[in-house]
Amino acid sequence: MWLLLIKVIASGLIILTTTSFGFDMARRYRDRPRHLRQLQAALQGLATEITYGATPLPAAFANLAATHPSPTKDMLQVAAQQLAMPGNTATVAWEQGLETLLQRSALHPRDLAGVRQLGAVLGLSDRRDQERHLLLAIQHLEREEIAAEQERQQNERMWRYLGVLSGLLVVIVLV
């Protein structure tokens, strides 16, 4: 009787573990297109702030951080804070912001290749030039988003099923 109870609990734990692992992997694939879209929106907002508002960079970061959802918001907040520190250039602040974004989102380092180059341009050249660079980075993100969406369709369901079923498989072998 006790043996049966222990077996049932252990089986439940095994299935729970593999299922949560599978859902975690699925979440990574599901979040990536969304985070790419959010980053595009943030860059679009930054382009607007620069070309039409002519807002100084720290204020632009702070404004955008107030209106954007979480992973992008964190990045902009960190960038704004870093920029407020004495001695930090926009390049360093942007780099720190991107590091934060990389840690808290499902994005790959190669997604940010185009965005990373913006650090050398932001706040240093004229409006037209900055706008051109921002648009270029957005286009790069759009291409990545299409690829990410395709990857999601292939992998999201697979990882979910894989998690549940592999747990079931282990339980069946061990029982």
Task: By CB under 8 A, name the binding residues for another protein.
Answer: 154-155, 157-158, 161-162, 165-166, 168-169, 172-173, 175
Report the residue number, 4 or 172, with the smaller CB distance to another protein.
172
Smallest gap from residue 169 Cβ to another protein (A): 5
Report the residue number, 30 or 104, with the smaller CB distance to another protein.
30
User: Directed axis angle between helix 2-48 and helix 57-67, to 10°?
Assistant: 140
Report the residue number, 52 or 161, with the smaller CB distance to another protein.
161
3-state secondary structure 47-97: HHHHHHHCCCHHHHHHHHHHHCCHHHHHHHHHHHHHHHCCCCCHHHHHHHH
Q: How many CB atoms lie within 10 A of CB 161?
A: 11
Smallest gap from residue 31 Cβ to another protein (A): 18
| Burial call 105-114: b when 16+ CB within 10 Å, e when fewer | bbbeeebbeb
The amino acid that residue 71 corresponds to is P
Report the residue number, 33 or 119, with the smaller CB distance to another protein.
33
Smallest gap from residue 154 Cβ to another protein (A): 5
Cα separation, 34 vs 38, whole angstroms: 6
Report the residue number, 91 or 166, with the smaller CB distance to another protein.
166
